[in-house]
Structure 1
Amino acid sequence: MSLVSFARKRYTTKAYDATRQVDQTTIDELLELLRLAPSSVNSQPWHFVVASTAEGKARLAKGTQGVFAANQGKVLDASHVILICTLSELSDEHLATVLDQEGADGRFRDEAARTTQQNVRGGYVNLHREAGDTQHWMEQQAYLALGTLLLGAASLGLDATPMEGIDRNTLDRELGLADRGLRSLVMVSLGYRSDSDFNAALPKSRLPAERVFTHL
């Protein structure tokens, strides 16, 4: 099946079959896709909280109370739920960790190449620090990971639901994210749709190509 076929097939699942679980091999492959997601200047300003147990999903479901209650079943009935988080600060320590990993993975032919990478990335980071939009920039990178996750899930035969309708402050407190230098951003349920999922039978709808593309 082509990549476009997966994109045409995937949709936002509204109800899950709580009796079906995703096997660990498939989850491991999906998590590796997340780890390999692209980010601006390879900044990787993210962390992923993965819930697979009833207890873990119940903790994440605390972020779907009150005005977000419509999303609670999508968390509790799913096989797995992933909370995508950003760093609360793009620190020099994190940047040094990324640089060291790049070195360990053999990306630098010599010390000059390492210094060039450090300076280029630092230059972009400083641009955002000076503009005061570093958090927004990190969130943009996390949404690149979200896109990777959704298309990857479809390619592996999984249903998925991205949810911005969550109480981030509640989740931050429940998981102690602030103490870990993290902030919750968006949550994704994964599993297999229920027969009661009305959205599964609806046709996909997107604006036509002539409306969304300009060819130069």
Structure 2
Amino acid sequence: MNILESLEWRYASKRMNGQRVPSDKVERILEAIRLAPSSMGLQPYTVLVIEDEELKKQIRPIAMDQPQIEESSHLLVFAAWDDITPDQIEEYIQHAAEVRNMPAEQLLDFKNILLGIAERNTQEQNFNWAARQAYIAFGVGLVAAATEQVDATPMEGFDAAALDKLLKLNEKGLRSVTLLPLGYRDAENDWLAALPKVRRQREKFIIEA
């Protein structure tokens, strides 16, 4: 399948069959997420990969009792940094210098730009910016899953505060923003599986100027 065929194939599966996704497919999806675009390359978010069945059972009622939570092979939790701190920026600068084999001092101007952005925003503004960055990676994950012929259901319907408490995300400086169960569709029990994909007409969706 090419990318358009893969996107035509994918949909938000309402039921999954519990079949395990091969580890190589999961790793390619995760690597695509890691390589996703991010403003200034900072990647102010973390992806948790949950396979533990008991933990998924605990998450299901927090996520409006959506069955895909338990029926999935892997549950990805996208969690944004709850603030952008000088220590996080310093760690990023040191890592960038190491990867690019240059002195960190050469990145001082770039570091100061990042510090300036973080310092002039409130903590909530920084979190909201981080959450938007997480959504970019989230979208890449959806596309990557489709190219691997793995079903993925985007979810915002969950109690973020309760999930953060369960996963102790606040202790890690994180707040959950979205969920992505990975698995395989249960076409016989999913009312949406056989229905055509509905998207806005191109002439109404695209404005050419």
Between the aligned partners of 1:91 and 1:45, the Cα distance in structure 2 is 10
State yes or no: 1:203 paired with 2:196: yes
String of CA shifts for 1:79-120, please: whole Å, max 9, x gaps: 110111011111111111111111111175x55641232133
Distance 2:165 2:122 in 1: 29
User: Partner residue of 2:21?
Assistant: 22
SS at match of 2:95: helix
Match of 1:173 in 2: 165
Q: CA deviation at 1:130?
A: 5.8
Which residue is 2:91 aligned to?
A: 97
Count residues with an aligned counterpart. Answer: 208
Contact 2:36 2:140 survives alignment (8 Å): yes
Partner of residue 77 from structure 1, selected from 45, 50, 71: 71
Task: For 2:164 and 2:86, locate their aligned partners in 1 and report how far apart those are by CA, in whole Å.
Answer: 23
Aligned to 2:58: 59
8 A Cα contact 1:62 1:170, kept in partner: no
Aligned to 2:81: 87
Write the deviation string for residues 2-56 of structure 1: whole angstroms up to 9, x where unpaired.
22221222110000002x1011111111111121121111121101111112123
1:149-188 Cα offsets, whole Å, 9 max, x none, are: 1000000110011110011111111111111111111111
Aligned to 2:175: 183
Question: Amino acid of the residue matched to residue 197 of structure 1?
Answer: D
Paired position in structure 2 for 1:137: 129
In the alignment, which residue of structure 2 is the partner of 1:159? 151
Query: How far off its partner does 1:131 sit?
Result: 9.8
The alpha-carbon distance between structure 1 residues 130 and 168, as it changes in their structure 2 partners (threshold 3 A), is: closer
Residue pair 2:20, 2:183 contacting (<8 A) in 1 also: yes
Distance apart, 1:62 and its partner CA: 4.3
Partner SS state of residue 201, structure 1: coil
Aligned-pair identity in percent equals: 28
Cα pair distance change 1:36/1:107, threshold 3 Å: farther
Structure 1 residues 206 and 53: CA distance shift in structure 2, 3 A:
same
Counterpart Cα distance in 1 of 2:2 and 2:101: 31
Q: Tell me, yes or no, if the aligned pair for 1:61 and 1:75 is still in contact at 8 Å.
A: yes
Q: Is the 8 A contact 1:62 1:171 kept in 2?
A: no
| Maintained 8 Å contact 1:17/1:78 | yes
The answer to whether 1:117 aligns with 2:85 is no
For 1:17 and 1:5, the matched residues in 2 are separated by 23
How large is the RMSD of aligned CA atoms in angstroms? 1.9
Work out the CA distance in 2 between the residues paired with 1:143 and 1:75.
19
Letter in structure 2 aligned against 1:37: A
2:38 aligned partner: 39
> Given the two structures, how large is their TM-score scaled by the length of structure 1?
0.89
